[in-house]
Amino acid sequence: MVKAWYMDNENTDQRLEHHRNPPEFISLEDLYKKTGIEYFKLNVDTFKTDGVLDKIKKERGYSYEDQITVSKECLPNYEEKLKAFYKEHLHTDEEIRFAVEGSGYFDIRDDSDQWIRILVTPGDMIIIPSGSYHRFTVDTNNYLKAYRYFVGEPVWLPYNRPADDMDCRKEYVDKLKKGFSVAA
Ligand SMILES: [Fe+2]
């Protein structure tokens, strides 16, 4: 089940929950309004045949997919990779992830530049808008298996902050100002 909350500013292990005290959770609806993140709940047992994912892929034009496993066993230089994933960055395209095993955190800046942490577990599909500053980490379980999707030839290139002059960033900031009011 996906959950999202505002983060504290403690400089401790990135894999911890980093709740504020007291915790400040945010609803999926507000998450969308404040960041543009879209969320879909899929059934991990039936997604290959139940048509729900196929419909999303068709509607959004996802023509490429692969799978990534973030774990000590599957990623060479694991600790270094984790640090790289956790650097605040943006992309010129959407980042689409569908968790099928394990868990992890996607952090995104809200409209006031505050970090929101999103916990994804099996069945959670999230779409991070192009031009939004975000980062990723596993949690203390150190394991996430997820599908990645893309429109056209995949480009995974991150642009670390600051990247405010990029067109995709300007477009995103424009949308943030106007508000993501139309439900996904
Ligand atoms: Fe990213």
How far away, in angstroms, is 160 Cα from ligand 1 center? 10
- Which pTM was predicted? 0.96
Is residue 95 marked as binding? Answer: yes
Structural domains of the chain, with CATH: 3-175 (2.60.120.10)
pLDDT tens digits, residue range 15-35?
A: 999 999 999 999 999 999 999
pLDDT tens digits, residue range 78-127?
A: 999 999 999 999 999 999 999 999 999 999 999 999 999 999 999 999 99
How far away, in angstroms, is 40 Cα from ligand 1 center? 18
pLDDT tens digits, residue range 123-142?
A: 999 999 999 999 999 999 99
**How many Å separate Cα 134 from the centre of its chain?**
7
How far away, in angstroms, is 116 Cα from ligand 1 center? 15
